[in-house]
């Protein structure tokens, strides 16, 4: 049987190399887990709360309804506000229209209808084409 003679420095070098490789692997594993956890934490929000304050935006436009979309019939004899309220009674949805852009509005119906037919600034979170209204003011 052949016996291999190894020196202490060679043995220590071997152990140090494998220790560094193992430490690097462990560090990569921990960093990956930390990134995955941080990414999933950003997408979780409390019920009823926006997921992040950076998602809150301000929009400006006319508070109207999904039926007329700020193009109320001039010969109806109704003001824009009266027309919006009439369309809402018939089942239309509240909207904010700004030029070619239009968004459905969700929030306090009384506060939204108070500004029906008027220009307003709406602060809230946008989800697709729906703004969850947090605050509304007349422009």
From first to last of its 139 residues, what are the pLDDT tens digits of the chain?
566 667 888 888 899 999 999 999 999 988 888 877 765 444 443 344 444 445 789 999 999 888 887 677 666 778 888 888 888 889 989 999 988 899 999 998 888 889 988 999 999 999 999 999 998 998 7
Write out the two tokens for 95: 């909207």
Separation of alpha carbons 4 and 12, rounded Å: 16
Q: Which helix (H) or strand (E) holds 71?
A: none
Q: Which of 111, 101, 106, 113 is nearest to 132 (CA)?
A: 106
- Residue 113, CA atoms < 13 Å, CB-side half-sphere: 13
State whether residue 25 is helix, strand or coil: helix
Judge residue 75's burial from the number of C-beta atoms within 10 Å of its C-beta, 0-12 exposed, 13-18 middle, 19 or more buried: exposed
* pTM (predicted TM-score): 0.57
Residue 69 main-chain phi, psi, to 5 deg: 50, 50
Look-up of token digits 């997921």: 51
- Chain centroid to Cα 111, Å, comes to 23
């Amino acid at each position: 049987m052949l016996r291999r003679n190894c020196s202490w420095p060679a043995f220590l070098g071997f152990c140090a190399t494998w220790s560094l490789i193992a430490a690097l692997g462990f560090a990569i594993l921990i960093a990956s887990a930390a990134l995955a956890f941080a990414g999933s934490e950003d997408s979780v929000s409390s019920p009823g709360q926006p997921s992040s304050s950076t998602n809150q935006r301000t929009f400006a436009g006319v508070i109207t309804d999904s039926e007329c979309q700020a193009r109320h019939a001039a010969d109806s004899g109704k003001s824009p506000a009266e027309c919006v309220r009439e369309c809402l009674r018939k089942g239309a949805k509240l909207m904010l229209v700004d030029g070619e852009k239009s968004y459905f509005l969700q929030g306090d119906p009384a506060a939204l209808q108070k500004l029906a037919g008027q220009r307003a600034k709406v602060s809230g979170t946008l989800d697709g084409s729906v703004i969850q209204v947090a605050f509304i003011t007349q422009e």
